[in-house]
Structure 1
Amino acid sequence: MTDIHDPTHRDLSIDQQLALKTAATRLHGEFDGVFGTETIERFLHSSYDQFAAHSTIPRFLPLLAERFARQRLHALARVEGHHTDGKPTVLFLCVHNAGRSQMAMGFFQHLADDRAVAWSGGSEPGYEINPAAIAAMAERDIDISGEFPKPWTDEIVRAADVVITMGCGDACPVFPSKRYLDWTLDDPAGKSVEDVRPVRDEIERRVRGLLVELGVPVA
């Protein structure tokens, strides 16, 4: 296993090394008794690499890696039966994970509160959340500005009860016996807030319908 504490590893700065070490300590505390050191650090390391390949803001890489590793570890815990809260889990997928899937996850989390779990991902993750999507969601008092585009991984797809695809076509992952729904929605990339509003409203309508299907009370 590659050691993230090795000062020569990928020429990380001292601050990045310390940030990753701190992240690993937090993850160890959260998943103590569920996963061992090797699994936790492997997920943190691979999550870092996934963002390092295209990040334009290196100082945020350890934080993004920690957040994504935490999500992946929670997903793996569900897959392996370590975490069985019975909450429906939905994965929203689009191309860049910067607009449609982020708005869908925002509505889902807002309406379901803690009664269900939502994740999102992209086949070609972008660099930032679409500003028009952020503004359109803010009009509904839903803040998605703290989210970030991310890829999907096998454990995240496997942990989902329902996978919602939005324009990623053949690039979307296919797992046997998994429930898939394809939502045909305009891509908000490059659109103004005014043009994004109809997409936002259609996403909200579909998310509300999905929650009804899943038997999740709407907040």
Structure 2
Amino acid sequence: MSTVDTPALLAATTKDLADRFDGVHSADTVARYVADSYVALHRTAFGDSRLPELTKRFAADRLTALAPADDADRTPSVLFICIHNAGRSQTAAALMDHHADGAVRVHSAGSQPAATVSKSAAAVLAERGLTLDDAYSKPITAEILTSADVVVIAGGGEAVPRLPGPRYETWDLPHPPGDDLDGISAVRDEIDTRVQALLNQLTTH
């Protein structure tokens, strides 16, 4: 069985992102965020074969959020948070991404990220023709939190820091057990209604 050369993959990731963010962030900043993102995800996703790829995606999202705002880019940003970033926040992010079709930047995070995304959440989203195949659980980070226009707390609100900048909303959503697909479908439908209302607020001026 071949082993993954993690240091080499992280070095390649750092180089790729340093090239992508050239003129925006220093090479040292990129290296620091790649290392920090790897450590943050490794805490829960150490068994995920996609860990190097996920590290690159997570670091890129954080570096984008950290970059100075471009006055020409008025795309609103929403961060969905729940405890494990496995069910409710992933469902909300997937539905917002679907309905917004690029009109909103969508992020999700958890106060206590799980190792994997909920299979039940994936199953009820599949009924809508949506997938969580590329989704992964990740922690709350300051740069994505403060860059969001709206932070939606879909669960575990007491663990979410309130920082200046974003507008905070708390959605009082039930947390049915994983084998209650009818209950999870009902939560999905409620989330969908709330997501579409929020999207209308963000894109109607």
TM-score range, shorter chain: over 0.9
In 2, are the aligned partners of 1:27 and 1:70 still within 8 Å (CA)? yes
C-alpha distance 17-97 of structure 1, shift in aligned 2 (>3 A): same
In the other structure, the counterpart of 1:4 is none
- Structure 1, unmatched stretches of 5+, are 1-12
Any idea what the Cα deviations from partners look like across 1:162-215, whole Å, max 9, x if unmatched?
000012122011013431110011124523333210000000000000011112
- Work out the percentage of aligned pairs sharing the same amino acid: 38
Quick one: which amino acid aligns to residue 95 of structure 1? Answer: I
In the other structure, the counterpart of 2:34 is 44
Structure 1 position 65 matched with structure 2 position 55: yes
In the other structure, the counterpart of 1:130 is 118
Q: Distance in 1 between matches of 2:104 and 2:153?
A: 18
Q: Distance in 1 between matches of 2:95 and 2:48?
A: 30
Quick one: which amino acid aligns to residue 98 of structure 1? Answer: A
Q: 1:16 Cα deviation (Å)?
A: 0.8
Q: 1:59 Cα deviation (Å)?
A: 4.0
Q: Note the aligned Cα RMSD (angstroms).
A: 1.8
Structure 1 position 117 matched with structure 2 position 114: no
In the other structure, the counterpart of 1:17 is 7
Structure 1 position 89 matched with structure 2 position 82: no
Equivalent residues in 2 for 1:208-219, closer than 5 Å: 208-215=196-203
In the other structure, the counterpart of 2:21 is 31
Quick one: which amino acid aligns to residue 200 of structure 1? Answer: R
In 2, are the aligned partners of 1:100 and 1:188 still within 8 Å (CA)? no
Any idea what the Cα deviations from partners look like across 1:28-73, whole Å, max 9, x if unmatched?
1211111110000000000011122233416432222111101101
Length, aligned pairs only: 203
Structure 1 position 151 matched with structure 2 position 147: no
3-state DSSP class of the match of 1:114? coil
In 1, are the aligned partners of 2:45 and 2:116 still within 8 Å (CA)? no
Q: Distance in 1 between matches of 2:91 and 2:4?
A: 36
Q: Distance in 2 between matches of 1:189 and 1:76?
A: 36
Q: Distance in 2 between matches of 1:167 and 1:175?
A: 18
Q: Distance in 2 between matches of 1:216 and 1:114?
A: 15
1:167 pairs with one of 131, 137, 155: 155
Quick one: which amino acid aligns to residue 43 of structure 1? Answer: Y
Structure 1 position 74 matched with structure 2 position 64: yes
Quick one: which amino acid aligns to residue 208 of structure 1? Answer: Q
Any idea what the Cα deviations from partners look like across 1:113-168, whole Å, max 9, x if unmatched?
11111100000000111001001111111111210000011100110000000121
Q: Distance in 2 between matches of 1:84 and 1:168?
A: 35
TM-score, with length taken from structure 2: 0.92
